[in-house]
């Protein structure tokens, strides 16, 4: 039976329960379990790493991104993950370690089982400039090539906001993308730190679909105004779906772009309540 357009709109407004009642199941937009960035539970990991892994596993999360070994060796951490049926897919490090201790970083990443090595901040004296962007691009090309050719690892840069300063007809982020080799430098798109300086995360995913391999899932408190500083109060991180970002559009674009791993990162002190709320939000999203 052909149903009028207004009828279908009414069902969509009512939600998935109404759709199911009429035999019109909506497809889930985000059917998979997300990963977790270790920074979300940094304080808990410092106190009791095994118990924190257990708590994360209880949430149904198996995929981890570690940017700190929390006093353990990579081998010890890998053993804890293996024992719980969990994996580490991305290993984050500081800029200096990436540049000066590349072999050690690669060894730790491979021991953890990670396929990606990520850096999330470029040391610079604000503001981030065109000169700095070009110098950074050259350094990324060098280390990214080494990680790929000698270790089989993919290097990702995690944006932090300051890269979206205007430059010519685009931004300094566009400069980084234009001056880095696609085979050696990929992106972990932090959607909050794209939105904060005024960029559109969904549009970035559409513009650079083959470059963005990883995604940080986070939302920004309503009313908070952004800038190019790359900094905001950690308490401005809120549960997905309760803040400013258009997550439906972002996740739809990410799915189309083929993003490989999604990690929840919540820097606030309210993760005990906000992470479960975020998971419920993701589960309830439909196409």
Does pLDDT of 234 surpass 80?
yes
The tens digit of pLDDT for each residue in 136-178 reads 999 999 999 999 999 999 999 999 999 999 999 999 999 999 9
Does pLDDT of 21 surpass 80?
no
pTM (predicted TM-score): 0.91
Give residue 26's pLDDT.
Answer: 84
Give residue 109's pLDDT.
Answer: 98
The tens digit of pLDDT for each residue in 92-147 reads 999 999 999 999 999 999 999 999 999 999 999 999 999 999 999 999 999 999 99
Does pLDDT of 4 surpass 50?
no
Give residue 5's pLDDT.
Answer: 46
Does pLDDT of 214 surpass 70?
yes
Does pLDDT of 23 surpass 70?
no
Its sign, for the CA torsion 140, 64, 46, 189, is positive
Output the CATH code of domain 31-284: 3.20.20.150
Give residue 12's pLDDT.
Answer: 44
Q: How confident is the model at residue 249 (pLDDT cuts 50, 70, 90)?
A: very high
The tens digit of pLDDT for each residue in 46-86 reads 999 999 999 999 999 999 999 999 999 999 999 999 999 99
- Of residues 7 and 82, more confidence is placed in 82
CATH 3.20.20.150-classified regions of the chain: 31-284
Beta-bridged to residue 64, according to DSSP, are: 36, 88
Chain-centroid distance, C-alpha 173: 16
Region 245-251: what's the mean pLDDT?
98
Does pLDDT of 277 surpass 50?
yes
DSSP 137-196: HHHHHHHHHHHHHHH--EEEEE--SGGGSEETTEEHHHHHHHHS-TTT-EEEEEHHHHHT
Region 250-270: what's the mean pLDDT?
98
Q: What whole-number percentage of the chain has pLDDT above 90?
A: 91
Q: Residues with Cβ < 8 Å from 43, sequence gap 6 or more?
A: none
């Amino acid at each position: 039976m052909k149903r009028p357009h207004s009828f279908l709109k009414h069902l969509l407004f009512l939600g998935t329960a109404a759709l199911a009642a009429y035999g019109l199941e909506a497809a889930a937009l985000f059917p998979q379990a997300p990963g977790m960035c270790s920074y979300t539970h940094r304080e808990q990991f410092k106190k009791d790493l095994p118990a924190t892994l257990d708590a994360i596993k209880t949430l149904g999360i198996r995929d981890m991104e570690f940017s700190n070994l929390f006093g353990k060796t990579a081998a010890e951490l890998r053993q804890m993950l293996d024992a719980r049926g969990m994996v580490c897919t991305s290993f984050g490090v500081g800029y200096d370690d990436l540049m000066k201790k590349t072999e050690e970083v690669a060894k730790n990443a491979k021991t953890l089982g990670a396929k990606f090595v990520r850096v999330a901040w470029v040391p610079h004296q604000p503001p981030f400039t065109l000169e700095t962007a070009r110098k950074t691009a050259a350094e990324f090309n060098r280390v990214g090539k080494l990680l790929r050719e000698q270790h089989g690892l993919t290097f990702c840069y995690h944006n932090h906001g300051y890269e979206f300063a205007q430059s010519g007809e685009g931004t300094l982020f566009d400069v980084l993308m234009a001056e880095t080799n696609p085979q050696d430098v990929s992106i972990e798109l932090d959607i909050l730190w794209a939105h904060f300086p005024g960029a559109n995360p969904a549009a970035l995913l559409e513009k650079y679909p083959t470059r963005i391999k990883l995604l940080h899932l986070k939302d920004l408190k309503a009313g908070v105004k952004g800038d190019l500083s790359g900094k905001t109060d950690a308490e401005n991180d809120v549960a997905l779906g309760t803040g400013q970002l258009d997550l439906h559009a972002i996740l739809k674009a990410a799915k189309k772009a083929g993003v490989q791993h999604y990690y929840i990162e919540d820097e606030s002190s309210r993760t005990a309540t906000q992470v479960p709320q975020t998971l419920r939000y993701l589960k309830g999203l439909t196409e």
